[in-house]
Structure 1
């Protein structure tokens, strides 16, 4: 829990940022698009008050938590125009390095020994410095070259303070603002919290490295650094050092001298394997997290952010990727609808038509057009416009493919990513089916079959006995019998009451012709009593029907 002065500072920083963008036409246009989806089509042609670069710089100035928030927003095409999504997707969090004395103190505290006793050498100048930690090159006593990632001092507390502020502000926004509820800001924040908490624990990243390295062991040209668990902790991660350069810095001459199409195909296959077969994928393959080695191999060096896909979702993603690779708009839309959440406002037919149009327009695209990931982002936007909620994993898949587009475009601009997806998906499906045919995968089925056979005679005897005694019953929960019965009873009661009121009016009219000493307002008293009772009953019945009827109330 942060202290009061720090909380006030955090609130001031957040409110100052929000006021700037709240009053901007970027926010107004996005808010209006949430109400009127047709306005979102104008976003890409509109010049907003704040440019994409300005938004990026403002988020950097806000601090590391908001940098991560910006990176997360890059997967939300329903919130911002394409130019802003692209700027946020490339948002890097390079910051000034921490003095080596502080780094040394953290390493020695976490490893429980002096740096000089754990390493032959430990370079003071970091290789890279980011918002959560910085990386130093070192060598173990065994001579093994390693990279040591060290968490910045106090960063965990800083993140938690910012998350506390965001949590409170998000709750207020969702409670009082329709726009915040439309955009599901609370879901965005929940995803940010999950990502940050995982990235703050280097033990989880070490386990991610081990898992993905094992899953991709068949890919000779894909390198995953192996962690050194004895030299790792929650705040220190030691792993193999990979010597290479940022993949986007590859020189044009080197690209001309080499054919990287095979390497690109292997990279695409490796990511499809993670998504479709393993259900555990590197979720942030942006160029800064991927190195190109001197021997023409690709290394994934930062696995703090991973995505998990359930078996059911994996099957749906197979259908989706195949439909995309075949440029089949109808199949693509139906695959998305199958895994979506719909409501009474969902416009399925419009969605089907719009998806088909998008797929047809991009049918002959190549890697240099950066289309595959962008298409998924467009489909996400179309889903939001048509009140269809896609699972968050579709956003993650869009981000993965968008980053892959950039890498593939550098290595082989003419690469046909769709054809590669189609070919590799079929091969991965074949491997998946073969793996599922292994004997160990039949054990659970055999146990269930055994239980079914054991209990079958007893159940059949019970069914035949109930049939013989005329006691066999089938219970269907499709209709609420009590609700239907209550409805009929309510109708019958109102009809009966209406007949009684009508009879009282008719009786009062007839009694008006009978002379009587008892009079009310100069009319026969008994007739007036019946008439007044009928009037009161009619007014009560009308009130109940108009103001208390459940169905009418819901329609209003």
Structure 2
């Protein structure tokens, strides 16, 4: 075990030594620490070189590279593009090994379970490979077999990455800025879900039910009796990758109804269901012979909470209308930031500039996903941390952009979002009015009704015993008391001044041997004092009172 750990550390640190002093890492660190960095740097390692190095590191690092492709706040654009297309080159599992794994997991030999089983795999990836087979019922299926030892390998690499990430966060400002440990934790969560084929089978069932009303979309159904955590048997769907279609096919067929279904389906997944196919890259989206879209590989799904769904709905409406302020408000409501350190006004200004620069509406020119990922980078630069789910949303939209641009280059995605949004809102409202949600509302009110008499009883008992206290944090008690005292003092001063004036007027009628301007000296002095005090009081009210000054300003 110690030798394996040493091997993992050696492999990792050899990679780190190569890239530690590279321009890519310096660019990331400078961005994190708000230091000036040139925008058109010539990096000493090309994106293709980084991709090849990650492949050599193994499947875990390939998955890490794919995850980093959704982080524009970490890497330059050309690196993001290279990482987004990152696929691992792995050797195929031998047919004898496939037979052994299938029998161990299912308890049945391949020759008995299937009439035919193609020993040559259809596809091979880091986690597993897929074979075509024929059931005794005549149903053609795809059988996905997990690689032996892949779980152990992933967990060892993840443990190494976690230890290094924790160390980096403890000693590096840049690592803390971008929450490097959270990235590794997210990678662990994604990989452990992908390694459990039972979860993928369940994902297929859920998505098939959610999208059953869309005529142009097909989701394969799993075969439960021939599936386990390491084996997944499902419908085989014959089709071609959308990116491999010929030009003649694109001109012969009107793909607009199909794309309408695809866009509406993904809006429904994100906004209404909160459960979305998170990896719709062209390799996982196939076009069948009858011109329908088959959604493949549901090992990775995204889940959005009800509150987040509402905010995303506001965001997409804002993007479709090119309303920079609405987009900014939606993003801020989905983010965490400190008002003392975040530059919200600068973020708002940059979002508005980005929206105004995005003038095109055609799918071939407009990159909705890329724009959303750019917004993420802007937020990080201004000290604002957007919700992690927005990275996933950006990746989903980025992949959809590619598919739409291939099949219908002139498709107006913004108009489509506006067109479908009303339907999404109606579906969302219907979902919230389901009986189970209504029962939850009734249960909450039932609890309130049950607890209310007891609470009222306690309140009345405390009031009767003169122990009832009302605490209000919204008011400054000292300030309120000072205000009342100031009012009382001014009323008293006014009464004294009025009394002095009235007294002086009465004394003026009494004859005096000493007089000034024909009036007795004593009433004259009282009158002058009263006038002086009155003017001083008026001066204080008009020019020194805080409330008056603020109102005047």
Given the two structures, how large is their TM-score scaled by the length of structure 1? 0.82
Counterparts of 2:109 and 2:68, CA distance in 1: 41
Structure 1 position 95, deviation (Å): 2.0
Counterparts of 2:171 and 2:461, CA distance in 1: 61
Cross-structure match for 1:25: 23
Cross-structure match for 1:376: 372
Counterparts of 1:340 and 1:156, CA distance in 2: 34
Q: Which runs of 4+ in 1 moved over 6 A?
A: 478-481
The alignment status of 1:328 with 2:326, answered yes or no, reads no
| Contact 1:75/1:398 (<8 A) preserved | yes
Q: CA RMSD in A?
A: 1.9
The alignment status of 1:131 with 2:129, answered yes or no, reads no
The alignment status of 1:426 with 2:426, answered yes or no, reads no
2:152 to 148, 157, 165: 157
For each residue in 1:258-314, what CA deviation from the matched residue of structure 2 results, as whole angstroms up to 9, or x when unmatched?
111111111011111111111111111111111111110011110000111111111
Counterparts of 1:420 and 1:431, CA distance in 2: 17
For each residue in 1:520-556, what CA deviation from the matched residue of structure 2 results, as whole angstroms up to 9, or x when unmatched?
xxxxxxxxxxxxxxxxxxxxxxxxxxxxxxxxxxxxx
Cross-structure match for 1:444: 440
Cross-structure match for 2:504: none
**1:332-411 → structure 2 map (5 Å cutoff):** 332-343=327-338, 344-411=340-407
CA distance 1:237–1:426, shift in 2 (3 Å) = same
The runs of 5 or more residues in structure 2 that have no matched partner are 478-553
The runs of 5 or more residues in structure 1 that have no matched partner are 482-556
| Contact 2:55/2:89 (<8 A) preserved | no
2:254 to 252, 259, 268: 259
Counterparts of 2:13 and 2:121, CA distance in 1: 35
Given the two structures, how large is their TM-score scaled by the length of structure 2? 0.83
Cross-structure match for 1:294: 289
SS at match of 2:232: strand
Structure 1 position 466, deviation (Å): 5.3
| Contact 1:69/1:192 (<8 A) preserved | yes
Cross-structure match for 2:312: 317
2:413 to 412, 417, 437: 417
How many residue pairs were aligned?
Answer: 476
Cross-structure match for 1:14: 12
SS at match of 2:386: coil
CA distance 1:16–1:473, shift in 2 (3 Å) = same
Counterparts of 1:4 and 1:391, CA distance in 2: 38
Structure 1 position 470, deviation (Å): 5.1
66-75 or 410-419: bigger deviation: 410-419
Counterparts of 1:194 and 1:401, CA distance in 2: 22
Counterparts of 2:433 and 2:379, CA distance in 1: 37
For each residue in 1:73-104, what CA deviation from the matched residue of structure 2 results, as whole angstroms up to 9, or x when unmatched?
01111110111111111112242211111111
SS at match of 1:227: coil
CA distance 1:371–1:474, shift in 2 (3 Å) = same
| Contact 2:360/2:366 (<8 A) preserved | no
For each residue in 1:132-160, what CA deviation from the matched residue of structure 2 results, as whole angstroms up to 9, or x when unmatched?
00000001111110000000111111111
| Contact 1:365/1:371 (<8 A) preserved | no
Structure 1 position 473, deviation (Å): 1.9
| Contact 1:37/1:385 (<8 A) preserved | no
